[in-house]
A and B are shown apart, each in its own frame.
Chain A
Amino acid sequence: MPEGKFRQYFSGGVQSQSAIAGDAVPSISSRIPADGTTLRIEHLCMNFEDHKAVRDVTYSLPKGKLVGLIGPNGCGKSTMMKCICKVHQMTSGKIYVGGQDISGMKPAEVSKLVASVPAEAGQTFGMTVMDMVMLGRYPFVDKIWWETEEDERVVREAMRTFGIDHLRRKKVSTLSSGERQRALIAKAYVQQPILMLVDEPTSHLDMKYKLDVMEYLKNMARNDMTVLVAEHDISLMARYCDLCVIMKKGQIVTIGDPKEVVTESLIRDVYEVDARVGLDVDGEIYVLPKKARWDNNPDEVHFGSQNGSYE
């Protein structure tokens, strides 16, 4: 990772933000209310017909934090994130981003406050990296056919920051997973949000790129942006995150410093799996699952019928 470059852009707080965003966009801290709360969610509920995906969730996140959103598959993490960026219309509740109630706002206005990074680029029909990152400028180029030189400058700046500028004419489909993930983050970054939602950014990356992506996210958080990351690798989350939001069955179990909240009993409660939680030599948390529970109780597992034939 180009550490030096990052310092250059992320070190100066207000100043560096304006260096990237241009003078027209005020710094992140000036777009957040005085109490420093980036996101406030009150009694959020989201139902899909008879399935309650998110049930009465209330919490708030301060600015400049890297927040891990942890929970088993299907616990409502993605649904909640989609409610925050207005992809889903919430059933009930209130969401405030930067002090503004998003339910009454136009989608294009919300997208200047909240950006979301998908887990996958999907099928891109041979789109180039530059074209993809440029899509993030859509909310800013309303009713004009071409982007402006200013948009191009912001995009190139972001691509340099994320170390993908030399790839800008390549096709997204030809990138490695790590490069593609950075391109996706850059696409969200050029929206100049105060809150970024990242869905499983490291799920198919190797160790090096996992750390790489987390470093980028951490650096954005250092620059006052709040970054909410849904991720299954609890050890990685505990290592990087300032806060952890633990969810189970559509509800918040607990929120807090990962060093305090991630415990063996919590893992057992949330995932129904026995795991060893300890500190390594650096004093960082690691989480290692033990054998699955049903392994201890073979009666619960049946492959085929009693006489050995499948029915």
Chain B
Amino acid sequence: MPLQFEYQPTQGVPEEAPVEPKKKRNINPVAAVVGVIRTNRPTNLDEEESELSVKKRRFRLIVAFGIVMSIVTFLISISISSGGIVPVTDAIAAMFSAIEKGGQNLTTVELYIYQSRLPRAIAAIGVGAGLAIAGCMYQAIIRNPLVDPYITGVSSGAGCFAVAIVALGVSIPFIGSNTLYIIPVAAIVGGLIAFAITMGVAEGSGGSASNYILAGVIVGFALSSVQTVFLSMAKDNLTNAMWWLYGSFANITWENAWIVMVPALGISLLAMVWAREFNLFMMGEDQAKQLGMNVKRFKRTMMIIASVLTALCVAFCGIIGFVGLIIPHACRMALGTDHRLIMPASIVLGACLMLFSDLIARTVLSPLELPVGAITAMIGTPIFAYMLVKRGREYDA
């Protein structure tokens, strides 16, 4: 008997929107900041409000909230130091009077603020924002949640060159051997050389995202081993070298604070121009191409921008881990995947985390100063673990 089967086209079963049970709102402090931005809707839910205007309002809130939060953190940061705590109002007054005096004939408080706290805070804002945005860019382009700004070997290259300078007392032509800029220049050069090698290998193998990771990892390993060799040769200068490798704002002065902050923050803000293109990348390269994007050129350009940004951040303050890996994820978990929201949020959160970490690094065990990279991880990990537990299930990264 021949096989018989029969089927009807599916019937018009109306698909009703499932009634979502009302969740009990238990306010917890960590989610509160996020919650204000996320659920910022009028209580009488206006269902006809367009998603677009919700998004725009969230953007405005992030910007406004971010500016306020940065200023508050900044003020707290300059009021407290190993020299003691001054009231915020006094700190502001002292800051302005010191700036007015141009750094001459300062009182004790003014001296503290003007000479040590202010430049550090300025640099911390730039570095925090820069690392967070670089991480955000890499994660979007490579589509891998484990990616951080150091994935292309920039940190290893920078570390290798910086340690060579510190440990061996090498001098660079035109700059000399003993100036403020010798380590930063070496670090930037080293970082960019490492990135160039990574890019050469990755593009030579077809330029796919995973090849970028592999190339970056092997270049990183190679340069780290060279760095280890230099470290073992360092002897007396070992402490100095280690200091740089764990990151610190101790060497920041007025001369170099602006060199870090202006380009780092500038590039971070500039990168937001391409937020929509980063969104497109979340669907994969074929889909981005299909929607009319020049994927290859975009990827290459953004890789270069992110690497320059990373090298710049690393150059003056050493290798500060964690911020670039975790901040973008935290923002994604809180705000979704739209880069128009998570990029400004990353800038703000990165800057604030860095300010706080620097504050703790220089006060907790004062007069001993701790490496700031260790502090960022110590503050950030519990917060991130909490968010991962809360939101990790629907975040299939």
CB closest chain-A residue, reference B336: A128
Pick out which of these stretches binds chain B: A27-35, A267-275, A276-284, A299-307.
A276-284
Residues of chain B with a CB closer than 8 A to A86's CB = 289-290
CB closest chain-A residue, reference B59: A146
Measured between C-beta atoms, what is the minimum distance from A206 to chain B in Å? Answer: 11
Residues of chain B with a CB closer than 8 A to A127's CB = 282, 336-337
Measured between C-beta atoms, what is the minimum distance from A159 to chain B in Å? Answer: 10
Residues of chain B with a CB closer than 8 A to A82's CB = 286
Is A99 close to B, CB under 8 A? no
- The CA-CA distance from A248 to B395 in the complex, in Å, is 41
Are B7 and A211 in contact, CB atoms less than 8 angstroms apart? yes
Known A1-B13, A3-B12, A280-B4; contact A126-B291, beta-carbon cutoff 8 A: no
Residues of chain B with a CB closer than 8 A to A207's CB = 7
Measured between C-beta atoms, what is the minimum distance from A128 to chain B in Å? Answer: 6
Interface residues on A, range: 35 or more
Q: Mark A135-169, 1 if CB is under 8 A from B, else 0.
A: 11011010001111101100000000001001010
Pick out which of these stretches binds chain B: A11-19, A58-66, A115-123, A249-257.
A115-123
Are A110 and B292 in contact, CB atoms less than 8 angstroms apart? yes
Is A108 close to B, CB under 8 A? yes
Measured between C-beta atoms, what is the minimum distance from B132 to chain A in Å? Answer: 16
- The CA-CA distance from A125 to B280 in the complex, in Å, is 12
Q: Mark A102-124, 1 if CB is under 8 A from B, else 0.
A: 00001111110011101001111
- The CA-CA distance from A102 to B391 in the complex, in Å, is 44
Is A10 close to B, CB under 8 A? no
Is A200 close to B, CB under 8 A? no
Known A122-B284, A146-B340, A163-B15; contact A107-B6, beta-carbon cutoff 8 A: no
Known A86-B289, A111-B292; contact A152-B395, beta-carbon cutoff 8 A: no
Residues of chain A with a CB closer than 8 A to B273's CB = 145
Q: Say which residue of A146, A151, A173, A281 sits within 8 Å of B394 (CB atoms).
A: A173
Pick out which of these stretches binds chain A: B50-58, B110-118, B299-307.
B50-58
Is A233 close to B, CB under 8 A? no
Is B45 close to A, CB under 8 A? no
Residues of chain B with a CB closer than 8 A to A281's CB = 4, 6
Are B397 and A123 in contact, CB atoms less than 8 angstroms apart? yes
Is B2 close to A, CB under 8 A? yes
Residues of chain A with a CB closer than 8 A to B332's CB = 125-126
Q: Say which residue of B12, B56, B276, B293 sits within 8 Å of A4 (CB atoms).
A: B12
Known A1-B12, A124-B337; contact A171-B394, beta-carbon cutoff 8 A: yes
- The CA-CA distance from A149 to B49 in the complex, in Å, is 11
Are A107 and B396 in contact, CB atoms less than 8 angstroms apart? no
Residues of chain B with a CB closer than 8 A to A124's CB = 282-283, 337, 396
Residues of chain B with a CB closer than 8 A to A121's CB = 283
Are B3 and A286 in contact, CB atoms less than 8 angstroms apart? yes
Are A215 and B14 in contact, CB atoms less than 8 angstroms apart? no
Are A131 and B394 in contact, CB atoms less than 8 angstroms apart? no
Q: Mark B313-340, 1 if CB is under 8 A from A, else 0.
A: 0000000000000000000110011101
- The CA-CA distance from A108 to B277 in the complex, in Å, is 13
Are A130 and B292 in contact, CB atoms less than 8 angstroms apart? no
Known A123-B396, A135-B280, A280-B4; contact A107-B12, beta-carbon cutoff 8 A: no
Are B292 and A280 in contact, CB atoms less than 8 angstroms apart? no
Q: Which residues of B (1-33) have their CB < 8 Å from a CB of A?
A: 2-7, 9-18
- The CA-CA distance from A286 to B5 in the complex, in Å, is 9
Is B263 close to A, CB under 8 A? no
Residues of chain A with a CB closer than 8 A to B2's CB = 278
Is A87 close to B, CB under 8 A? yes
- The CA-CA distance from A146 to B58 in the complex, in Å, is 13
Are B292 and A138 in contact, CB atoms less than 8 angstroms apart? yes
Are B276 and A138 in contact, CB atoms less than 8 angstroms apart? yes
Is A132 close to B, CB under 8 A? yes
Q: Mark B153-181, 1 if CB is under 8 A from A, else 0.
A: 00000000000000000000000000000
- The CA-CA distance from A127 to B282 in the complex, in Å, is 8
Known A125-B145, A126-B336; contact A146-B287, beta-carbon cutoff 8 A: no
Is B363 close to A, CB under 8 A? no
CB closest chain-B residue, reference A279: B2
- For the A-B complex, the count of residue pairs with Cβ-Cβ distances under 8 Å equals 142
Are B291 and A136 in contact, CB atoms less than 8 angstroms apart? yes
- The CA-CA distance from A123 to B7 in the complex, in Å, is 35
Q: Say which residue of A2, A87, A148 sits within 8 Å of B14 (CB atoms).
A: A2
Is B211 close to A, CB under 8 A? no
Is A208 close to B, CB under 8 A? yes
Q: Which residues of A (27-58) have their CB < 8 Å from a CB of B?
A: none
* Most chain A CB within a 10 A radius of its CB, from B291, B293, B397: B291
Known A87-B289, A126-B333, A278-B2; contact A145-B276, beta-carbon cutoff 8 A: yes
CB closest chain-A residue, reference B335: A126
- The CA-CA distance from A106 to B291 in the complex, in Å, is 11
Known A2-B15, A280-B5; contact A87-B292, beta-carbon cutoff 8 A: no
- The CA-CA distance from A125 to B51 in the complex, in Å, is 20
Are A215 and B10 in contact, CB atoms less than 8 angstroms apart? yes
- The CA-CA distance from A211 to B4 in the complex, in Å, is 18
- The CA-CA distance from A308 to B12 in the complex, in Å, is 58
Are A122 and B291 in contact, CB atoms less than 8 angstroms apart? no
Residues of chain A with a CB closer than 8 A to B290's CB = 85-87, 111, 114-116
Residues of chain B with a CB closer than 8 A to A171's CB = 394-396
Residues of chain B with a CB closer than 8 A to A25's CB = none
Are B337 and A107 in contact, CB atoms less than 8 angstroms apart? no
Measured between C-beta atoms, what is the minimum distance from A186 to chain B in Å? Answer: 13
Residues of chain A with a CB closer than 8 A to B12's CB = 1-4
Are A152 and B51 in contact, CB atoms less than 8 angstroms apart? yes
Is A191 close to B, CB under 8 A? yes
- The CA-CA distance from A108 to B395 in the complex, in Å, is 31
- The CA-CA distance from A171 to B338 in the complex, in Å, is 12
Measured between C-beta atoms, what is the minimum distance from A30 to chain B in Å? Answer: 22
Measured between C-beta atoms, what is the minimum distance from A249 to chain B in Å? Answer: 23
Is A174 close to B, CB under 8 A? yes
CB closest chain-B residue, reference A4: B12
Are A166 and B279 in contact, CB atoms less than 8 angstroms apart? no
Task: List 13 A-B residue pairs with CB atoms under 8 Å apart, sorted by A's residue number.
Answer: A87-B286, A118-B287, A121-B283, A126-B397, A131-B279, A135-B279, A146-B55, A168-B51, A171-B396, A191-B291, A211-B10, A280-B5, A286-B5
